Structure 1
Amino acid sequence: MASSSSARLLLASLLFSSLCFCFCLASSQASVPKVSLQLYYETLCPYCSRFMVNHLSKIFEDGLISIVDLDLIPYGNARVNSNDSITCQHGPNECLLNTIEACAISVWPDVSEHFKFIYCVELLVVDHKYESWETCFEETGIDSTAVLKCYESGEGNKLELQYAAKTDALQPPHTYVPWVVVDGQPLYEVSAQSIKFF
């Protein structure tokens, strides 16, 4: 199953790169609307973390973010229990980090601000040092107060329940993470049509 996931991630990366090329061409035309890009992920999923750190971050480096409306949804394959508590695929630490990242998105709605923090956390996940996630506040120069208040007050859990509803409403439903949706279409549908080009 891991090789199948790796193949999907590689294909998603290739497709994402070709979509970035198309976005560059489109950006040269006047009055082009932003491309909607949603990433459904979970914080301790190694495929998600590597995708974010190695591929998604490039849209900030090369300026593509100016034509992309990026929406990060940190929930993934978690499940809501009957008492509205959440169980995460990779355990309680993943639930903690999903909620912290949801709070960061809420507190700093500017994608350039919250992505810096999330990137830092996900880089620690890639390096197997995610327990040090709080160092990302200092590293990015962002005040931790509002994010920690969001988490401790229960507001973060409400945000996660909203992400759960958004994830569960996907049509077609997600079958793995990272799940990338471009202008309402999951990349796997594009890959099924475009696989002969790669």
Structure 2
Amino acid sequence: MASSRTESRTLCFSLLPCLLLFALFTPTSSSARTLPSDSGKVSLALYYESLCPYSANFIVNYLVKLFEDDLISIVDLKLSPWGNAKLRSNDTFSCQHGPSECLLNTVEACAIKIWPALNDHFPFIYCIESLVYEHKYPQWESCYEKLGLDSKPIAECYSSGLGKELELQYAAETSALQPPHQYVPWVVVDGLPIYEDYENFLTYVCNAYNGTAALKACSKLSLNTIQKASTKSTLSVGCNEGKMPALFGRIRSTLISWMRQMNMAIWI
């Protein structure tokens, strides 16, 4: 075991110059980046669209894990429901999956505004995305009754035009991303996108965290996580309007995933 660890470290150091050179020629810094949190927590941003099946799957089956083992206590989570929507003339916009997606993007934006605490708006968004995942999104209004919420604030936000203003703000945030998003879900940890490896975002969160509050929860990310990462397909990574991710983004994602696996193997 000691020999294996030594070989892993040696391999990492031998490739370090190449990785550093690659990082230098890959744009990662800009005033438009989602910067690390100044609260001591890890900044985690999700750029998504409501009817993208990949977004729904990520929220329902992966992002929700933040609330297990209290990992949410070390994270500043920001949700941005815009995705691949397009601005048109006179501040109008169209959405990749049609008018229903524009409606639900706006509804979820209103929820974030009206119930700003994560513990208040996330259950509502999770409920909607669960219905999307189950192909039952026309029943989204049932989430009010399920969660005991008043529907009037959301309806007023949508009908008053506030929801549209919120969406335009999310449009500006998404279009200003550096590097630009290539598909959704687009996950950014402490200012850096993790590309196709977004399903393993918890490992990036744990690696970025410098405190001790979540050590027990992070230690549960073991060989099972590594095995899932090593067998993951990169042929379909998200909703991207039929465009394959940029080559450098895919290469960088592979390198980041490999380095993460090496770190995990050394820990184990």
TM-score tier by shorter-chain length is 0.7 to 0.9
How well do the aligned residues superpose, as a CA RMSD in angstroms?
Answer: 1.4
- Given candidates 178, 188, 191, the residue that maps to 1:184 is 191
Counterpart of 1:146?
153
Counterpart of 2:82?
75
Counterpart of 1:84?
91
Gaps of 5+ in 2: 1-38, 196-248, 263-268
Q: Distance in 1 between matches of 2:147 and 2:42?
A: 27
Secondary structure at the aligned position of 1:112 is classed as helix
Map 1:1-198 to 2 at 5 A.
33-188=40-195, 191-196=253-258, 197=261
Q: Please state how far the C-alpha of 1:139 moved relative to its aligned partner.
A: 0.6
Q: Please state how far the C-alpha of 1:61 moved relative to its aligned partner.
A: 2.5
Secondary structure at the aligned position of 1:109 is classed as coil
Q: Please state how far the C-alpha of 1:192 moved relative to its aligned partner.
A: 3.3
How high is the sequence identity, in percent, across the aligned residues? 62
Per-residue CA deviation, residues 54-97 of structure 1 (Å, 9 max, x unaligned), is 00011012211111100000000001101111100000000000
Per-residue CA deviation, residues 117-139 of structure 1 (Å, 9 max, x unaligned), is 00000000000000010010111
Number of aligned residue pairs: 167
* TM-score (normalised: structure 1): 0.81
Per-residue CA deviation, residues 166-194 of structure 1 (Å, 9 max, x unaligned), is 00000000000000001110012663323
* TM-score (normalised: structure 2): 0.60
Per-residue CA deviation, residues 23-46 of structure 1 (Å, 9 max, x unaligned), is xxxxxxxxx811110000000000
Counterpart of 1:6?
none
Q: Distance in 2 between matches of 1:157 and 1:127?
A: 27
Q: Distance in 2 between matches of 1:52 and 1:59?
A: 10
Q: Distance in 1 between matches of 2:164 and 2:68?
A: 32
Q: Please state how far the C-alpha of 1:101 moved relative to its aligned partner.
A: 0.1
Gaps of 5+ in 1: 1-31
User: Which residue identity lines up with residue 43 of structure 1 in the other structure?
Assistant: S
Secondary structure at the aligned position of 1:36 is classed as strand
Larger radius of gyration: 2
Q: Please state how far the C-alpha of 1:52 moved relative to its aligned partner.
A: 0.3
Q: Please state how far the C-alpha of 1:100 moved relative to its aligned partner.
A: 0.1
Q: Distance in 2 between matches of 1:82 and 1:126?
A: 32
Distance 1:67 1:195, change over 3 A: closer
